Structure 1
Amino acid sequence: MQKEFVVIGLGRFGGSIVKELVNQGADVMAIDIVPERVDEFATIATQAVVADTTDEAALKSLGIRNFEHVIIAIGDDIQSSILTTLMLKEIGVKRITVKAQNDYHEKVLRKIGADQVVHPERDMGIRIANNIISNNVLDYLELSDEHSIIEIRVNEKIAGHSIIDLDIRARYGINIVAVKRGNEIIVSPQVDEPLKLNDVLIIIGADVDIHRFEKKVLS
């Protein structure tokens, strides 16, 4: 069954979500209060609509309750973001993801029932900072305030050693969940197979343990 989404707010963030969902084969209703933005997505989204999503009657007339997931990507108008979230919960939308401007905005969104809250600018800043600070860190994804998934390039210091040789789980409390080798992704890699230079380790663990591993093993 084809997935159906609604994206509210067609700025850079919301617009990129619409385009990627469409590329992935999903049906997408794109909504914004600004007609020029809606016109831009008229030939991209399955349906593009000009609407004020703080108006409950407007939301009901669009049949949004029938969509399985609504993404609220409203830009700087925090009040509209909160009111839209509240309206969607009241009309019975199953899953709502909302872009937050700050931590206070997130607290309110969670209290009124948002299923997922994202901070794209903050999260991208964290990823870029981690990439900049270490030549070995290729990507970084925050899972919570204390845990992350990180991609680390194998350097000369650990190339030729196996996972069991490095004893990473026991020494550092982190787990290698996969190894990227060229275009191949090796899930649950063999612990006795030597790592190759420029392999990429996909590691999950507490931030403090990941940083300790980076400092002692990769620096």
Structure 2
Amino acid sequence: MKIIIVGLGSFGGSLAVYLTNAGHEIIGIDLDMNRVEFYKDKITHTINLDVTDQFTVSGLPIKSTDLVIMAIGENQGASVLGTANFKTLGAKKIIGRAISSVHETILVALGIETIIRPEKESARKWYKKLTTKYLEESFELNREYSIVELRLPEKYIGKTVGEIDFRNNYNLVALTTIQESMVSSPLGGATIHKTVQGVVQHNTILTQDDIIVVYGKNDDIQRFLDK
């Protein structure tokens, strides 16, 4: 895909690099020339441009772009004006970034259907991780359902997936297991490497080194951990 990302701060810049490495054509835009210079060799294209100026924005290849991501964080005014300009100039799809409830309300009023809230989502993710015992990672599909990575409570260690019977006992779906290993870096340090073990089977035995990945309602996940 051809994607325009406006705002090359920590969020927008990182997203631009990930998407470039995944093979997408990225046009990264920022008003700060230092950021443009920093990312010029890391993403497909970088442009120093003021998106609040509609005439300047009109020079971008908007019609041939699949997606515009407004990743501006610190300047809500520039985010709103830039979004309005891309909308007026016929962008096919715009994803907005909201950093406050008022900002989000304005983006919704502009007709932006998909809104990213990285600070709020990160805070909620860390809240869950800090307050839910055994939780390693979580991906909320909505407020009710999640896919989570869990350390196994001791009572489940040594049992098979069939013996635990996730679906009938807890209304959960066990997807896979993950095992961690330490990998040395060229600089002498070490990082944790996660290896997905494949789809779990009825006779898969769970060990204390396993991280189990399950899908289901948040209440059922908590019930599995509490029971």
Q: Give me the TM-score of the superposition, normalised by structure 2.
A: 0.83
Aligned to 1:202: 213
After superposition, residues 1-219 of structure 1 pair within 5 angstroms as 3-181=1-179, 183-187=195-199, 189-216=200-227
Deviation at 1:20, TM superposition (A): 1.7
Aligned to 2:187: none
Question: Within 2, Cα distance between the matches of 1:38 and 1:9?
Answer: 10
Question: Within 2, Cα distance between the matches of 1:214 and 1:39?
Answer: 48
Question: Within 1, Cα distance between the matches of 2:215 and 2:104?
Answer: 25
Greater CA drift, 129-138 or 50-59: 129-138
Unaligned runs of 5+ in 1: none
Q: In the alignment, is the contact (CA less than 8 A) between 1:139 and 1:150 conserved in 2?
A: yes
- Counterpart code for 1:119: R
Q: Which runs of 4+ in 1 moved over 6 A?
A: none
Specify whether residues 205 and 86 from structure 1 end up closer, same or farther in structure 2 by C-alpha distance, changes over 3 A only: farther
Query: Quick check: which one's strand share is greater?
Result: 2
- Counterpart code for 1:207: N
- Counterpart code for 2:119: E
Question: Within 1, Cα distance between the matches of 2:123 and 2:52?
Answer: 30
Question: Within 2, Cα distance between the matches of 1:209 and 1:84?
Answer: 43
Question: Within 2, Cα distance between the matches of 1:127 and 1:116?
Answer: 19
CA RMSD after TM alignment? 2.1
| CA-to-aligned-CA distance 1:172-216 (integer Å, 9 cap, x gap) | 3222222224523323x2123322222222122222222222222
Specify whether residues 164 and 106 from structure 1 end up closer, same or farther in structure 2 by C-alpha distance, changes over 3 A only: farther
Specify whether residues 142 and 194 from structure 1 end up closer, same or farther in structure 2 by C-alpha distance, changes over 3 A only: same
Specify whether residues 12 and 181 from structure 1 end up closer, same or farther in structure 2 by C-alpha distance, changes over 3 A only: closer
Q: In the alignment, is the contact (CA less than 8 A) between 1:155 and 1:198 conserved in 2?
A: no
Question: Within 1, Cα distance between the matches of 2:44 and 2:205?
Answer: 49
Specify whether residues 211 and 105 from structure 1 end up closer, same or farther in structure 2 by C-alpha distance, changes over 3 A only: farther
Q: Give me the TM-score of the superposition, normalised by structure 1.
A: 0.86
Q: In the alignment, is the contact (CA less than 8 A) between 1:123 and 1:142 conserved in 2?
A: no
Q: In the alignment, is the contact (CA less than 8 A) between 1:86 and 1:113 conserved in 2?
A: no
- Counterpart code for 1:114: I
